[in-house]
Structure formats: C-alpha cells, structure tokens
Chain A
C-alpha cells in the first residue's frame, strides 16, 4: 500500500507525515506524531474525545482521514496553552474541578475553546447544546458548565 505524503501545520509548527489511506487524523496524531492528548473513545464521531480544531473549526479527528489534512492548520489539546501558560479554559477546568478521570477533558477543552471563540457569551443552553457532542461519563456535566461560564467571563475580561 503506498502512503500519502501530507504537509500541514500542527499546533503552529509545519509538520510532514506519511499516512495510509485508512489512517485518520486521530491515528496520525496519536501514533505518528506522538500527540496522545487527543483520545479515542469511539472512533465513530459519537463521543468527542478526539476533538481538534482544523482551520479553527471543531472536528472529530477520528472522522477525518490523514490525507485530508494537506494544507490545513490543526490545533490539538497540546496546542491550547500558550507555552507554559494555561489557557483560561484549562485553568477554569482545574479551578472548578470539571474533571474526574480526565479522559474526556482534552476534547471538552478543545470544544469549549471553539465555542468561546465563536460565541464569547453563551447562555447555559447554548453551551450545553454546543458541548452535546462531547460525552463525559464521570461528572454529570455540572462542574464542566461552571468552568465553561467562568472561562467565558475570564476571556471577556470580567473578573472570575
């Protein structure tokens, strides 16, 4: 099987990889690029654990083939912080104890960032619908929603 050569940007760095035709972006991230922060909970687009941003758009990386990444800019959970400074979504997740096992957390943080980039002041209902594609089996979502709203407030410059 011949491999496809792909050039794209991952977390701000130009990246090249070779992938099989059946490899997803998630496979490439996890197996070839060592970026295991994106998780596979289902492989079918139903859990959101593999959420990444592709050209700023929220995507389930398990549903996108590696070969489709050519020329795109991908942001994964590893690229959300600014160096060692946590993004407000990350620090508010910690402050509000919005994770238990933490397996859904990378996907939820990426999805929350996408939400707040698009809508800086979501209502609770808007936020809950936006995040409905990200399953969390541990928390019951309550503290996640608290963290989302606190991060929104912080990003709007309101004191948390």
Chain B
C-alpha cells in the first residue's frame, strides 16, 4: 500500500487528465436515462393529484383504456399492498410501504402532484391524453403545509398510525409529529450561566429542490418469464433493483438494472419514482415502457429537501470561549416520515469543541412531496441557524469570526456532540486557509459586507465492488458499481493507474450493471472516491501481485524476488539485474502461457471515511433600493484529504457553493392557499445562472485520511453547508440587519431593511 504522506511520489493522483467519458459528453453521444431505447418500447405518463389532501373515492380508467394506442393503465390495485418495513437501500431513512404509497397513492393522496395512476401508450402524446381521460373522484380533506402549523393540536392529521416516538409517555392520539430526537452533553444551564454574552434567535428555511437538469427517466421491460430489464438514470442501480423487487414482489435475481449516464442527482436520485411503475405498465402491456418526467412533475412529485424552523441559543465568555450551545430543529418530512433530522442535529455544532451543548429535533409530516436527500441532508438547514448565531456572538464580544472559530474549533481528540471522537481532521487548517486567502484583503465599499461561516459533513464509506481485467495487450478494463455523477470514472481510472504504474489512458473505466459487478451502495454520502476507490485500489493491488507472480514464473524465480515499479516487473534481491524488466504489456501477452487471463475483483465495506470541513467567506453588495443581494467574491476552503483529480474536486466545491447561493437568495417552494405548488418550473423556481455569479475561488486543504489508499476524504456535500449563513452574515455586515428567514430574496431583504428603518 502506498504511503499517503509521500504525495510527491504520486505520478497520476493529483494530476488533471481529460475524463474518459468526456468526448461522448461534449459530442452529444452520451446516453442518459431518457435517451435509452428498447425494441418495441411504448411510452408512459402519470395521473397526479390536484389536491393537497384527499381521499380517493373512485378511479375510472375505462375511457382511457378505450383510447386508440393505449396499452396499459395501472393504479395502486396493480401493485402489492406491502407492509410497513424499514428500508436501508437509499440515502436516509425510508419505509418500503411509504415508498410504495408515495409512488402510487393508496386510499389517500397526500400532496399536490401525488401519483394516482399511470398509463402506457404508443406515443407520449396519446399517453398524456389518456392520463387526462382517467377520472378520479376525490373527497377533499383539510390540508396543512407549514411544519409549525402541522404540529398544532387540531391540525389535519395525515396518517392515523403515527404516534410521536421519543416522547414520554407515548401519545395515544395520532399526530403529524413523527418523532423527537435529542443529543446532549455537559450541563447546559451551567454553561449559559458562565457566559458573558448570549444570543438567541429563531430562523426559518424554505424547502428547496435538488433541481438536477435531467428529469427522472427510465425504460423498463417485464418479460413474460418474469425477467426484468431496467435502464435508468439513478444514483444507484442496485438501489433501483432492490426497490423494484420489493415494491413489485419479485426476486432480486429477476431484475437487471443498467445505469445510464445521470444528469445530476445531488441526493434526489437515491430513491425511485418511475421504475416500478414502468415495470408494472410493461408487465400489463407486454411491451417495454419508457417514462420521463416533465419538469413540472419533477418539482411537484419528486423530493425537495425539508424546510424548517430552528431556535438557537449560544453563549460565550468575553475571551471567546463558547460555554454553551443549544439548537431546536423542526423539519418538514413531506407527506411521509423521514426528514434528515438526525444529521441536521448531529452536524449543527460539530465544528465546535463545546463542553455543554444540545440539539433537539422533530420530524414533522405535512402535505408536501416526500423529501429526498439533498447534498449533506439536513446540515445546511441547521447550520444556517447555528452559524448565523455564532456570527452574532462574535460581534457581541467583538471578536473576529474566524478567530472565534479557531478558538473553539473541533480538533483531533474532540468528542463530538453526537458521539465520536474526531481523528485526522483538518478543520483548523481549513480555517487558516480561509483566513490567509488573498480575497480577504479586498477592500469593501459602501453597502458591501463580508461574511464567514463553516460547515461539517460526516462523509460515509460502506459497500462497494470493483473488478479489473488485464487485456491481452496490457491495457486495463476497470468495472465498478458506482454511477458516475460528476467525473468519478476519471478518479477510479487514476487510482488504478497509480497502483499499476501505467498511464491513465491505459485504463478504461465503466460502470457495470447489476449483473456484472458486485453490490455497490448508492453514489451518495460523498462515498465513491473513498469506498469504491478503496475497492479499485484493492483489486489493483491484487493485479500487481498476480503480475509479479507471472514474471516470477517466466524467470523461474521466487515471487518474493520480483518487484513491481513504474508498471514493470524487476528482478530484485540476489536476482537484481539478472533479467530484463517485463512491462505489464509483456506479461499480458504471455499470460496464456503463465496461467491464463489476469483479473481481480475486490469488495469492501469501507469504514473510516473521514469527515469533511468547509469554511466559506463571501463578499456581497446589497442594493438598498431593491433588496437585491449581489455576490461580489466567493472563497471556499475545504479539507479534502487528498484531491485525486483536483479539477473535479474543485468543481464539487464550486457547484455545492453555488447551490447554496441559490438556497440562500432565491430558491423556495411556494404553495397557494389550496396547497398547490405555485412555482413548479425553472421560470419561477429560480436556480442561479452564470450572470448571477462571480468566480468561485477554492482553497483545497489536504489533511490525508489514513483509511484511504491515497488519503482521500469525501468532498461533494460539505460545500453546500456554509453558504446560507455566510451570505446572511455578509448581509448583516453590509447593512446591520440580520436575515433570519431563507431565501433572502429581494422583497424579504427590502422588508427587513424597512423594518429596521434602513
């Protein structure tokens, strides 16, 4: 195994080669979910509820079924009515029954956009017309959208089998509060008593959508013999397979899922919406079925992340020591249980070494689409509040915000509020990198301000598989099980090339389908470079061992006397210099004579991912007339362990920061009084565009993770955690007004300025 401290010895890791799938993507040849074709395929569409909350009285499909070109109609009656069972298949908690009901409503619809039926026809336009011809009779029920209202006694109750867990005594009446959670350490009261200054405030955030540009899409075939094929865009084809099997009641071995290229996911493609419906339609129609969501369907029917309400209280001594910190976080789960409340609580104080701290949270259902994971699920919401409060605290005691964070920073040996003791973390180094960035020397003008905020994300490891085969000419075929969402094929090939000592162009990486490579958990949790990368390195090590063995055989010496260097076998020890070195290609050509093909596979359940830390500094200008906030400068520092392909690492940080900018300034779900989504399109749900933004400067900090062959830590999620607070803090710096509600859109900023008499 390589010594991760020897960065200079690395030849491939840390360089910036062109990605192996790049040419296909710049030429329009890459096959995404909606591009895949199966012979004889027909086209699916869905019927969605126009009501936020209603009982389904009757579904009349007869007119649709009679239409020319319509081949199948399915409703919940065509899917097994499965029992409640926890699922650990995607990212974040989910229950198979909830997922089944979310996919296709049974008895009740719980949000505007909830699917009640699906139809397949010989063209998309016929399918859509047929969907409109399906008549659904509803009994409209009172609805509730806001999480605080949903918690009130007397609020419309979505599920009559939810009794708040985590409270004593257990309630006897059902409510929308799914559970209460708490993390605590030390003595909060004593901590606050020891503080010289205490700040306390309530913050709210709006639900935002992952807004991947590619809508959900799949094509699926259910054969008469029970074998199923699915080609789809997802963050985990093994996840798709598991959900389809469970939701349709078929064996996993009957389903083969092939990953298409995926046009963005950010957590939102770690569960299924279409695939089981397409299979059910295909079973009935006897033809493969393609389903592609419209953009409106993506907004109305697929998971945004939670909005929430956060109460924060934090106190410090005048020397900057934080003595106590408390947060109460209430998160929307959407229509079914399972907001990211756990991670929201675990992350919100993780940047600090505080003796007395607590975080209490509530998971609350309401008549909104079921939330899905979105980049560092939960953390951006709670951290917006806690990092705003810490900024307020730093101003109250007159201390620079970075110095305050340095004084209280989590370090190696710090025991986190949520349990573990941190090791090999680079938070202090990240704070220093931000502090020393040249952008902080820029002078600010009138109505301009600078804000700082930090963020934490666990990163995960878990199960991954990879295999390598040495081709006859010495090139390498590399198969892994992780869908490549942002260039990970490049880093997989680079790690293999580094271990084998060959040029990266000699390694061709692909993503195997579910029948061609071992089980691999979803592309999520910032796990791929760490966990799947470890599997790739393990398999590559195995190949090197075999190559040395083959050389030993050819030379008729002991394998221990063969050394692998720079892609060639060298005789070592007593034999040094006795034989000409054999390159990988030399050995490959002769593999038939030395024992047959050379191949290896590795499976891991990787542990020790190593948490990520980000510190963002943003300069803004506030237009006091309109309330518009312009981002002038943006600096994102992050501990990445080791950047395998620095360009794609920077890209993750930049992309995450810009999603955070959208969350901070523009994005929100807006419902009308009937509980219908008012802004289900890119015109009214405004994601950042190029002209909204300056350069996003990235400072990569590399504090290696000893649990990865090259020191990598997860990267993708941390960068969305700090932006909201950093921008709010910058707005305060510019105007003296504290923005306590997201998004900080022009009308809200203008109103806050008005209220403050500015």
Contact = CB atoms under 8 A, between A and B. Distances in A.
B214 A144 contact: no
B213 A49 contact: yes
Contacts of B650: 97, 142-143
Interface string B200-213: 00000000001111
B449 to A, nearest CB: 21
Given A97-B651, A101-B263, A141 B214 contact: no
Interface in B483-540: 485-487
Contacts of A77: 27-28
B654 A137 contact: no
A101 B696 contact: no
Given A97-B648, A137-B266, A140-B693, A40 B34 contact: yes
B689 interface: yes
Interface stretch (A2-10, A64-72, A86-94): A86-94
Contact of A102 (B25, B655, B691): B25
Contacts of A20: 125
Contacts of A120: none
A74 interface: no
Contacts of A44: 295, 681-683
A5 B143 CA distance: 50
A41 B485 contact: no
Contacts of A144: 690
Nearest to A96: B647
Contact of A137 (B125, B261, B264, B692): B264
A47 B683 CA distance: 9
B32 interface: yes
A81 B26 CA distance: 9
Given A46-B682, A86-B27, A99-B26, A139 B651 contact: yes
Interface stretch (B15-23, B321-329, B580-588): B15-23
Contacts of A95: 18
Interface string B258-280: 00011111100000000000000
A41 B415 CA distance: 45
B25 A140 contact: no
A90 to B, nearest CB: 4
B565 interface: no
B26 A101 contact: no
Given A46-B682, A100-B486, A129 B691 contact: yes
B585 to A, nearest CB: 26
A45 to B, nearest CB: 8
Contact of A78 (B27, B295, B690): B27
Interface in B644-701: 645, 647-648, 650-652, 654-659, 681-683, 687-693, 695-696
Given A139-B651, A142-B654, A101 B261 contact: yes
Interface string A99-111: 1111111100100
A41 to B, nearest CB: 4
The SS class assigned to the B binding surface is loop
A128 interface: yes
B7 interface: no
B486 A36 contact: no
B213 A132 contact: no
A137 B32 contact: no
A42 B214 contact: no
B654 A143 contact: yes
Contact of B16 (A78, A97, A109, A129): A97
A39 B213 contact: yes
B136 interface: no
B667 to A, nearest CB: 11
A22 B125 contact: yes
A94 B26 contact: yes
Contacts of B30: 102
Contacts of B34: 36, 39-40
Contact of B27 (A40, A81, A131): A81
A132 B27 CA distance: 22
B317 to A, nearest CB: 39
Interface in B22-81: 22-23, 25-32, 34-35
B413 to A, nearest CB: 35
A105 B486 CA distance: 13
Contact of A128 (B25, B29, B647, B693): B693
A39 B27 contact: no
Interface string A123-137: 001011101111111
A99 B489 CA distance: 13
Q: With a 10 A CB-CB cut-off, give which of A43, A95, A96, A100 has the most chain B CB atoms.
A: A100
B152 interface: no
A38 B658 CA distance: 25
Given A47-B682, A95-B18, A109-B26, A39 B32 contact: yes
A106 B261 CA distance: 14
Contact of A135 (B26, B29, B213, B266): B213
A27 B21 CA distance: 25
Contacts of B571: none
B264 A101 contact: yes
B26 A39 contact: no
A132 B690 contact: yes
A135 B683 contact: no
B294 interface: yes
A43 B294 contact: yes
Contact of B690 (A38, A46, A80, A134): A134
Interface string A32-69: 00011111111110110100000000000000000000
Nearest to A148: B690
A100 B690 contact: no
A30 B31 CA distance: 12
B203 to A, nearest CB: 25
A142 B22 CA distance: 18
Contacts of B688: 140-141
Contacts of B651: 97, 100, 138-140, 142-143
B682 A140 contact: no
B215 interface: yes
A152 interface: no
Contacts of B211: 137
A76 B292 CA distance: 22
Contacts of B295: 41-44, 46-47
Contacts of B262: 101
Q: With a 10 A CB-CB cut-off, give which of A37, A41, A140 has the most chain B CB atoms.
A: A140
Interface in B165-211: 210-211
Contact of B655 (A106, A109, A135, A139): A139
Given A90-B26, A90-B27, A94-B26, A101 B690 contact: no
B601 to A, nearest CB: 27
A118 B208 CA distance: 36
Q: With a 10 A CB-CB cut-off, give which of A39, A93, A137 has the most chain B CB atoms.
A: A137
Given A102-B261, A128-B693, 14 more contacts: A37-B29, A41-B295, A42-B295, A76-B28, A77-B28, A94-B23, A103-B32, A103-B214, A128-B691, A129-B690, A132-B690, A139-B654, A140-B656, A142-B654
Question: Which 6 A-B residue pairs are closest in the complex by CB-CB distance?
Answer: A37-B28, A103-B263, A140-B658, A77-B28, A102-B25, A97-B647
30 contacts: A36-B34, A39-B263, A41-B263, A41-B295, A43-B295, A49-B213, A76-B28, A78-B29, A80-B27, A90-B27, A94-B19, A95-B18, A97-B19, A97-B648, A100-B485, A103-B213, A105-B26, A128-B690, A131-B689, A131-B691, A132-B689, A132-B691, A135-B682, A137-B213, A139-B651, A139-B658, A140-B656, A140-B658, A143-B647, A145-B690
